[in-house]
């Protein structure tokens, strides 16, 4: 890097002594200001790479935790679903059994009613035939 004195000596033939010193002073101020040097940029690059690696590691860790939590939640949901399905199956079987019993009772009731009608009709026919035979005999 050039020092201020070297800059003045290089500028004197072109600008003259006063302008060279003023220009050299301004350049010195610029050089000493907050301009980034190659070393600054290298340090910044290294820091950014380090930060990116830390972020990547944290992201991988978070994703692993999320995956574990998701698997646990899915297992819990599966267990709850199986339990609910078992309860539903039990309730359905109970309801079907009740319906079957009601239908059996209704069928038995209908059979009894049908037998009463048949027996009644049989007695009625017998009475009619007997009445006709008595009428014919007289």
Whether 12 has a pLDDT exceeding 70, the answer reads: yes
Kindly report the pTM of this predicted structure. Answer: 0.48
| pLDDT value for 54 | 97
Tokens 């009644």, located at residue: 120
Q: In this predicted model, what pLDDT tens digit does every residue of 30-67 receive, in sequence order?
A: 766 666 678 888 999 999 999 999 999 999 999 999 99
Tokens 């010193």, located at residue: 21
| pLDDT value for 4 | 67
User: Which residue would you say has higher pLDDT here, 64 or 7?
Assistant: 64
Counting residues of the chain whose pLDDT is more than 70, the rounded percentage is: 91
Whether 2 has a pLDDT exceeding 60, the answer reads: no
Domain extents for the chain?
A: 1-35, 36-137
| pLDDT value for 30 | 72
CB contact burial 75-104 (16+ within 10 A = b; e otherwise): eeeeeeeeeeeeeeeeeeeeeeeeeeeeee
């Amino acid at each position: 890097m050039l020092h201020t004195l070297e800059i003045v000596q290089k500028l004197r033939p072109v600008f003259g002594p006063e302008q060279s010193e003023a220009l050299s002073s301004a350049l010195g101020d610029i050089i000493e200001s907050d301009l980034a040097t190659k070393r600054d940029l290298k340090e910044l690059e290294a820091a950014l790479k380090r930060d990116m690696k830390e972020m990547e590691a944290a992201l991988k860790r978070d994703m692993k935790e999320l995956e574990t939590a998701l698997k646990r939640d899915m297992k819990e949901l599966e267990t709850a679903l199986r339990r609910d399905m078992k309860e539903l199956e039990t309730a359905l079987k109970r309801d079907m059994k009740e319906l079957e019993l009601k239908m059996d009772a209704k069928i038995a009731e209908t059979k009894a009613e049908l037998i009463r009608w048949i027996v009644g009709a049989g007695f009625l026919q017998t009475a009619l035939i007997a009445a006709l035979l008595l009428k014919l005999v007289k």
